[in-house]
Amino acid sequence: MRRIPMLVLVAAALALLPDLADACAVCTTGRDDETRTAFIWTTVFMSLTPLMLVGAGVFWLRRRLREQEAEQAQADGPRARAELPRPASAPSR
């Protein structure tokens, strides 16, 4: 039971005196241009990587679907395509 008041006291001291707690180890190293540039490019890379992975997955699925549709159309032949019924709401030509 004595640990809880001590933890509350330490947390309050750290919240009120942030200079005592070095919360960010890299805040002082980002002052020179070389380090700042490295942080910026790393952030850009880490932000774009998930987007590129999702985009690549969508591209691959779309390409694979088109390949399968082409294979199915080739297997069915040209006659199967002509025999497809038209929807009732579509105007006839």
Global pTM reads 0.46
Q: Please provide the average confidence, as pLDDT, over all residues in the chain.
A: 79
Q: b/e map of 16-54 (b: 16 or more CB within 10 Å)?
A: eeeeeeeeeeeeeeeeeeeeeeeeeeeeeeeeeeeeeee
Q: Where are the domains of the chain?
A: 32-77
With contact defined as beta carbons under 8 Å apart, do 81 and 73 qualify?
yes
> pLDDT, tens digit, for every residue of 29-60?
556 778 778 888 999 999 999 999 999 999 99
C-alpha span between 11 and 52 (Å, rounded): 41
